[in-house]
């Protein structure tokens, strides 16, 4: 096992562009969720083991009896879903455990095979792979709804304890699968984005369970005012596009804070976006910028609209704008045209603007839908309580590509609307407590590998760690 993490540059790149790169596809103009992207990279032929024996299909779903509350086992268990293969397994090989994090894990079978770093490590070291669905996501739920009462057991610590309890108690279907607990076989924990942070948190909280761990784009430092997310994008996006976006946002902020209703309505009409609340309008303009995180090194894996957005602003009469851009007049017209013709239909479909982008209606299904498999609600519970990550504008005096109308209070208000039984007023997430418990940027752990891309949004959430280590 000494050579386990002696990976090549190719492996590192794959780790960054597959399980680690957070594909952020914002919906509904509400609190955004960093999700590890699904990939259709599965083999077409049946999966066989090293002896040529055909194995169960990769999409075979298994169920584990997970404790509802690790502090009170008397509450019973729930069915936690997982997917598993032992294509390359040999006795004594590692068990590679991955959770996609804050999403339904069905469809993440690519993380079992060697198109991802998980499978490549398993192939090289005769290991088996597992994808485990996170509690309160998909259909791994202790209760049949996502009410505030049900969500009481949805915490970072319970998720850590799930991984540990699973490793020590699961009976895998493969030969010898009842004799591979962490004291009998090396377990490797892998995660990206939030689950990358969960990987780090687990190594800090339970240092002796997993032999090694790989955290790709791990959002290890919980932050309330997460303006650095868009600052990374500003610094690495095409300079001409950045210049023009800043010009448009600065102009709209000036108009929206002027009290000039005629000028305000002119902007709404230009974008055909007659939202009641100006901060909702400002937030809507974040969405093409969120597309940055959907970019991939390979164009075959990326369907982001980020560069089409920049092209709409910066290409005119077959000419590309200089670094300073074409200027406000062209950028404002081009952005509104792209929004109406391309982005709004893609983002909202046939929904009216208030239904799609408004955030003030407490009776909206976005806030009131308590059904399981509602990953936005499950993620928001963690965001509002423990992690924050409210992506907003840069502080005054600094360049910004996001309206200064967007502050943490914009997102915190939505926490009250979604969880009125939990919050009577906008909450401040307990990020100091979270960072103190799991060490944030200042983690120290044996055999814990971090992989981050310099130009990706989550870098702002690991800045000190990445530069120190």
Region for residue 314 given its phi and psi (left: phi exceeds 0; alpha: psi -120 to 50; beta: otherwise): alpha
pLDDT at position 134 is 99
Residue pair 136/151 in contact by the 8 Å Cβ criterion: yes
Each residue of 373-394: pLDDT tens digit? 999 999 999 999 999 999 999 9
Q: How far apart are CA 83 and CA 99, in angstroms?
A: 10
Cα–Cα distance list, 403 to 193, 253, 414, 444 (Å): 25, 6, 18, 37
Residue pair 123/56 in contact by the 8 Å Cβ criterion: no
pLDDT at position 28 is 44
Closest to 328 in 3D by CA, of 230, 263, 245 = 245
pLDDT at position 18 is 41
What would the DSSP string read from start to end of 209-231?
T-SEEEEES---S-EEE-THHHH
pLDDT at position 294 is 82
Q: How far apart are CA 83 and CA 105, in angstroms?
A: 9
Helix (H, G, I), strand (E, B) or coil at 380: helix
Region for residue 367 given its phi and psi (left: phi exceeds 0; alpha: psi -120 to 50; beta: otherwise): alpha
> CB neighbours of 258 closer than 8 A, spacing ≥ 6?
264
Q: By 3-state DSSP, what share of the chain in percent is helix, strand and coil, each rounded to 5?
A: 40, 10, 45
pLDDT at position 295 is 82
Residue pair 172/180 in contact by the 8 Å Cβ criterion: yes
pLDDT at position 469 is 47
Residue pair 209/2 in contact by the 8 Å Cβ criterion: no
Closest to 386 in 3D by CA, of 440, 346, 446, 317 = 440
Task: Map out the domains of the chain with their CATH numbers.
Answer: 15-222+435-468 (3.40.50), 224-418 (no CATH)
Residue pair 250/396 in contact by the 8 Å Cβ criterion: no
For residue 429, count CB atoms less than 10 angstroms from its CB and return exposed for 0-12, middle for 13-18, buried for 19 or more: buried
Residue pair 124/155 in contact by the 8 Å Cβ criterion: no
Pairing of strands 187-192, 212-216: parallel
Long-range contacts of 66-74 (CB under 8 A, 24+ apart): 66/135, 66/140, 66/162, 66/165, 66/166, 67/161, 67/162, 67/165, 68/142, 68/153, 69/153, 69/158, 70/157, 70/158, 70/161, 70/162, 70/165
Q: Token pair of 210, please? A: 């997993």
Helix (H) or strand (E) holding 282: helix 278-284
CA 383 from centre of chain? 12
Q: How far apart are CA 135 and CA 67, in angstroms?
A: 10
Can you give the pLDDT of all 469 residues of the chain as single tens digits? 433 333 333 333 344 334 333 333 334 445 555 555 555 556 678 999 999 999 999 999 999 999 999 999 999 999 999 999 999 999 999 999 999 999 999 999 999 999 899 999 999 999 999 999 999 999 999 999 999 999 999 999 999 999 999 999 999 999 999 999 999 999 999 999 999 999 999 999 999 999 999 999 899 999 999 999 999 999 999 999 999 999 999 999 999 999 999 999 999 999 999 999 999 999 999 999 999 988 877 655 556 899 999 999 999 999 999 999 999 999 999 999 999 999 999 999 999 999 999 999 999 999 999 999 999 999 999 999 999 999 999 999 999 999 999 999 999 999 999 999 999 999 999 999 999 999 999 999 999 999 887 766 655 455 444 544 4
């Amino acid at each position: 096992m000494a050579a386990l993490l002696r990976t090549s540059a190719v492996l590192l790149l794959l780790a960054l562009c597959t399980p680690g790169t957070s594909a952020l596809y914002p919906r509904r103009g509400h609190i955004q969720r960093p999700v590890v992207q699904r990939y259709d990279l599965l083999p077409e032929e049946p999966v066989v083991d090293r002896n040529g024996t055909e194995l169960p299909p990769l999409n075979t779903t298994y169920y584990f009896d997970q404790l509802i509350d690790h502090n009170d086992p008397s509450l019973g268990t729930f069915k936690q879903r997982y997917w598993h293969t032992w294509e390359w397994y040999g006795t004594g090989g590692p068990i590679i455990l991955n959770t996609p994090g804050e999403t339904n894990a069905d469809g993440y079978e690519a993380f079992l095979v060697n198109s991802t770093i998980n499978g490549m490590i398993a192939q090289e070291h005769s290991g088996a792979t597992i994808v485990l669905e996170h509690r309160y996501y998909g259909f791994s739920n202790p209760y049949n709804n996502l009410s505030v009462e049900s969500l009481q057991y949805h915490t970072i610590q319970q998720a850590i304890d799930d991984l540990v309890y699973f490793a020590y108690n699961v009976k895998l279907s493969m030969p010898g699968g009842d004799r591979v607990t962490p004291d009998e076989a090396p377990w490797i924990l892998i995660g990206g984005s939030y689950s990358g942070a969960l990987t780090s948190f687990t190594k800090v909280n339970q240092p002796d369970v997993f032999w090694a761990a790989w955290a790709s784009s791990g959002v290890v430092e919980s932050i309330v005012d997460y303006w650095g997310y868009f600052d990374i994008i500003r610094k690495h996006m095409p300079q001409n596009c950045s210049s023009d976006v800043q010009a448009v946002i600065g102009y709209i902020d000036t108009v929206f804070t002027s009290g000039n209703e005629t000028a305000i309505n002119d902007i709404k009409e230009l974008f055909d976006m007659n939202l009641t609340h100006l901060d909702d309008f400002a937030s809507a303009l974040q969405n093409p910028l969120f597309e940055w995180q959907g970019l991939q090194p390979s164009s075959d894996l990326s369907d982001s609209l980020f560069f089409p957005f920049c092209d709409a602003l910066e290409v005119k009469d077959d000419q590309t704008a200089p670094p300073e851009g074409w200027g406000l007049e062209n950028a404002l017209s081009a952005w509104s045209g792209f929004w109406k013709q391309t982005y709004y239909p893609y983002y909202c479909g046939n929904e009216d603007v208030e239904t799609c982008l408004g955030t003030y209606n407490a009776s909206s299904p976005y806030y009131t839908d308590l059904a399981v498999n509602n990953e936005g609600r499950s993620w928001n519970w963690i965001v509002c309580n423990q992690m924050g990550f409210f992506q907003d504008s840069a502080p005054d005096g600094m360049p910004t590509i996001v309206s200064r109308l967007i502050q943490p209070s914009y997102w915190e208000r939505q926490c009250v609307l979604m969880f009125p039984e939990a919050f009577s007023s906008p909450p401040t997430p307990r990020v100091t407590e979270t960072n103190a418990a799991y060490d944030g940027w200042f983690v120290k752990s044996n055999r814990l590998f971090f992989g981050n891309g310099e130009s990706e949004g989550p870098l702002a959430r690991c800045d000190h760690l990445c530069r120190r280590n």
